Chain A
Amino acid sequence: MSIPNRRSLRNSRSVLQLIMSPFLFWIFALLMLVFGAAVIINRNPIASALSLVVSFLGLAALFMSLDAYFIGIIQVLVYAGAVMVLFLFIIMLLDLRAEERRQINLLTSAGAIAVALVLLLEIFHVIGTFKSTAQPFPPLARPTSDDVRNIGALLFQKYNLPFQIIGILVLVATVGIVLLSKREPR
């Protein structure tokens, strides 16, 4: 009984060290942040949308480094797949070109950046007050290859009512979109 246990423990720990190595973490975090900043810096909406794809892929890699494989995969499928296609489709449908350089209101921009910086400092301060933020992640008991089953069980048992409410929400959204995009009869 002890041999497979120990092997699985060692296995999980080596996978953990490989995946959660600081090098990979910082590479994907930097990728996500740089392309996230590129989303709001680019003037061309198509370039913004493509930067958003790269940012979401980096985020999916971070999810996988946290052993959340299911969330990482639906991140790729839903965001990098569906939502991005929707964005690109709308950009091309509306035929939006890069914005012409308008006069930028310096005071407004400085104010916006200052508010964002204050928010960032406040977030850092709150994180600094947590005691457990300096601890590394505890190792898992076994490599979780069955997190889809665990999330599914939770979703259909404990969170059954919210799940059905979400279903109604998506239905309402679908009907609303059809109604909004229908041309009004003359």
Chain B
Amino acid sequence: MVTLGDYLIVSGILFAIGFAGVMLRRNLIIILMALELMLNAANLSLVAFSRFRLLPNGLPDYNGQVFVFFIITVAAAEVAVGLAILVALYRARQTTDIKDISQLKF
């Protein structure tokens, strides 16, 4: 039988993968993707907790799922703004490598 711990472990591994991606990669697009992985790891553990803690009427605790809904909305807005900044940056510097954009001032 699958337990709550299994879901939390899978979620923790996914978070660590995303974290390693943010630390290792130098392409800004890949860093944004790794950020998405981390957000989704948090979502997985939230949904697992929501399913684990049943309300007295025997249904999942939907507060956690509403929180996941908010996280997905904010993540979508964040990706859109991040990619727009990336495009503006590429227009100015013709690069997406973080090694080439270590200065705030152009």
A-B contact pairs, 6 of them (CB 8 A): A32-B10, A48-B33, A52-B33, A71-B65, A123-B16, A136-B2
From DSSP, what is the main secondary structure of chain A's interface residues? helix
A174 to B76, CA, bound (A): 11
Given contacts A32-B10, A113-B20, are A132 and B52 in contact (CB under 8 A)? yes
Query: Cα distance A120–B1 when bound, in Å?
Result: 24
Q: A40's closest neighbor in chain B, by CB? A: B21
CB distance from A37 to the nearest CB of B (A): 5
Q: Which residues of A contact B (CB under 8 A)?
A: 20-22, 25, 29, 32-33, 36-37, 39-40, 45, 48-49, 52, 55-56, 59, 62-63, 65-68, 70-71, 74-75, 78-79, 82-83, 86-87, 90-91, 93-94, 96, 99, 109, 111-113, 115-117, 119-120, 123-124, 127, 130, 132-138, 140-142, 144, 147, 150-151, 154-155, 158-159, 162, 166, 169-170, 173-174, 176-177, 180-181
| Residues in B neighbouring A169, C-beta threshold 8 A | 73-74, 77
Interface of B is mostly: helix
Q: How far is the CA of A170 from the CA of B73 in the complex (A)?
A: 8
- Residue ranges of B at the interface with A (Cβ–Cβ < 8 Å): 1-10, 12-21, 23-25, 27, 29-30, 32-34, 36-37, 40, 43-44, 47-48, 50-52, 54, 57-60, 62-63, 65-66, 68-70, 72-81, 83-88, 90, 96-97
